[in-house]
Amino acid sequence: MIGLQPVVSLVNRRICIRILRLCRSAKDVLTCFGSGLPSIRVLRRRVMLRNRVKDRNSKLAGTAKQAGVKRFAIFHAAGIREMYRMRLTDIKARKGIGDDEDWLDRQAVEELAANEFRITQTDAKLRRENIHGEERTINAHAKVGKEVRDAITRMGNTMPEDLPPEPPIKEIEKRLKPLLSPPTEPPSET
């Protein structure tokens, strides 16, 4: 662990230098990242996790299609409804998320991870138990959603519907892009 400290410090220094190059003052830094100033590592983790959830959801849709699902909105709603104990429209209203916004794009790491668990476990259950038929597949998703909620309850953690919304993921990606891209050479003055 001690041997890694200089590497971590070097990485942090490089990121700080990039931030300072992009922002002319401390006020600019606050404008770029908000007053909470979440770490770049947390923001990157959120973006990475959101992309994983998107990929896993696509995979789940493919598995559900192979199992005979034709009404995908009902299939997806079943797992969400059991995990949150409310419909997606109610979740969005409760969290102040616009109708045109993707609710997953407004989730923090904890909520995204819970949804990823629901999605991956549903996919695994459908494959492992060789579940076929639209109704059975929908019921399996609902059961997994309920189990995820029960696990959150047993651990004493915050229910997903009570977690606050985060800034849209596209804003985070915009903020991170200049910090994570390779440094560019300043234009030469010839």
- Yes or no: say if 49 and 172 are a contact pair by the CB < 8 Å rule: no
Residues 149 and 83 grouped into a single domain: yes
Q: How many domains does the chain have?
A: 2
Q: Which two tokens stand for residue 116?
A: 């990823």
Q: What is the pLDDT of residue 136?
A: 98
Is residue 97 in a domain?
yes
* pLDDT tens for the 190 residues of the chain, in order: 344 344 344 445 565 555 555 555 444 444 455 545 567 788 888 999 999 999 999 999 999 999 999 999 999 999 999 999 999 999 999 999 999 999 999 999 999 999 999 999 999 999 999 999 999 999 999 999 999 999 999 999 999 999 999 999 998 888 777 766 555 555 555 5
Does one domain contain both 139 and 158?
Answer: yes
Structural domain range at position 133: 39-180
pLDDT at site 71: 97
Strand (E) or helix (H) holding 140: helix 134-155
Q: Look at residue 4 in the predicted model and tell me its pLDDT.
A: 37
32 and 116 co-located in one domain: no
CA dist 56 and 59 (Å) reads: 5
Q: Are residues 50 and 21 in the same domain?
A: no
Write out the two tokens for 5. 């400290």
Q: Does residue 45 sit in the same domain as residue 33?
A: no
End-to-end CA distance of the chain, in Å? 47
If asked whether residues 71 and 95 sit together in one domain, one would say yes
Structure confidence at residue 43 (pLDDT): 84
Domain co-membership, 137 together with 43: yes
Cβ 109 vs Cβ 43: under 8 Å? no
Domain contains 189? no
| Closest to 92 measured CA to CA, from 165, 152, 146 | 165
107 and 20 share one domain: no
